[in-house]
Amino acid sequence: MPQYILKRLLGLVPVLFGITLAVFLLLRLIPGDPAIVLAGERATPDQVEALRNQLGLNQPLVFQYFAFLGNLLRLNLGNSLISGIPILEEIRSRWTATFELAIAAMIVAVLFGIPLGVLAAVNKNRWLDQLTMGGSLVGVSLPVYWLGLLLIYLFSITLQWLPPSGRIGVESGLSFQPVTGFYVLDALLRFNLPVLADVLAHLILPALTLGTIPLAIVARITRSTMLDVLGQDYIRTAKAKGLPDRLVVFRHALKNALLPINTTIGLQFGTLLGGAILTETIFSWSGIGSWIYEGILARDYPVVQGGVVFVAIVFVFINLLVDLSYALVDPRVQFR
């Protein structure tokens, strides 16, 4: 196991190098000059040029990239060009919001996706199967920004059941002092039920919006994998012995179908971290996604570079954890 982990960690080095290079180059292709944005419209050409020289934007791209890479290796991501706040400080204050939203969305996807996939597989080619797979196709096809606005209009404006944006209400936020940055966990640790109810109310709509696509994908993968397992000889043997259908499906079939489902859940969770930009922007969620979006609009190179590299590193390590979890799901798996 330790040798396998070391090998995988060494294999991540070229991946992370490629990610940093792609982020750096693609960001430079975005139209606009951050020096002009920072200096303002009334700045003279000399002032803009002086600012570009101060920020190192006049240097060749090769020198800029190696300077960025060197700072990254020293865990120095620089400061925001607009606010001047260190990037690491911004990430430290925002990553919990993104992770809390991603975890909630993944809980929605798993709690509904796996049972729906199993239900569709057991009722293959019946109306329940067609309804479930048709619904999953709709879920994958719905644009996140449209679904988010639709949910806000329905549940916040029309029915007025849930708040339209933010992580916590104004009144609750004035008296609430978070410890870990995960508001749900902090409210539980402090046994503050009113704040917990308020935080969960703010979390429901963003989690549903973000979790729709992974829910549909998990349901379809579960159905496909379950169909393969249900056709195996040992399943027919279990049925021939007179075991109840529920026991055959959930103890024998689903247990042996978990590896692909586990992989899909891990990949989807990593995708949620990067795909939360639209959801966080729509719901005014103060996480990494909305912060990166603001950095793109402002041509704030350090913000976008630091945010994207952070999400990419987390995504890569989540994939590693998914690989290592195979041994827990299936003891027959051995690492070499």
Query: What are the backbone dihedrals phi and psi of residue 124, each rounded to the nearest 5 degrees, phi first?
Result: -55, 130
Q: How far is CA 161 from the centre of its chain?
A: 26
> Which residue matches tokens 């750096």?
24
pLDDT per residue as tens digits for the range 42-60:
667 776 777 677 667 777 7
- Cβ atoms of 212 and 279 within 8 Å: the answer is no
Domain termination site, one of 11, 45, 73: 73
Residue 197 placed within a domain: no
- Cβ atoms of 256 and 229 within 8 Å: the answer is yes
Residue 160 placed within a domain: no
DSSP bridge pairs for 86: 79
Give the dihedral sign, CA 131/132/138/144. Answer: positive
Question: Of 7-11, 120-124, 127-131, 225-229, where does mean pLDDT reach its minimum?
Answer: 7-11
Q: pLDDT band for position 38 (50/70/90)?
A: low
Q: pLDDT band for position 329 (50/70/90)?
A: low
Q: Are residues 261 and 290 in the same domain?
A: yes
Residue 188 placed within a domain: no
Domain termination site, one of 73, 100, 132: 73
Q: Are residues 8 and 136 in the same domain?
A: no
44: which DSSP letter?
Answer: -
Structure confidence at residue 39 (pLDDT): 62
- The structural domain count of the chain equals 2
Residue 302 placed within a domain: yes
How are the residues of the chain apportioned to helix, strand and coil, as percentages rounded to the nearest 5?
75, 0, 25
Q: Are residues 298 and 230 in the same domain?
A: yes
Residue 212 placed within a domain: yes
Give the dihedral sign, CA 225/228/231/232. Answer: negative
Nearest to 310 by CA among 105, 90, 106: 90
Q: Are residues 218 and 248 in the same domain?
A: yes
Domain termination site, one of 43, 73, 103: 73
Q: Are residues 138 and 21 in the same domain?
A: no
Please give the residue range of the domain that contains residue 32. 2-73
Please count the other Cβ atoms lying within 10 Å of the Cβ belonging to residue 212.
23
- With 80 as the cut, is the pLDDT of residue 167 above it? yes
Residue 105 placed within a domain: yes
Which pTM value belongs to this model?
Answer: 0.83
Q: What is the mean pLDDT of residues 156-166?
A: 89
Average pLDDT taken over every residue of the chain: 82
Q: Are residues 212 and 261 in the same domain?
A: yes
Q: Are residues 262 and 321 in the same domain?
A: yes
Q: pLDDT band for position 314 (50/70/90)?
A: confident
Q: Are residues 101 and 129 in the same domain?
A: yes
Question: Of 103-112, 147-156, 263-272, where does mean pLDDT reach its minimum?
Answer: 263-272
- With 90 as the cut, is the pLDDT of residue 107 above it? yes
Q: What is the mean pLDDT of residues 303-317?
A: 83
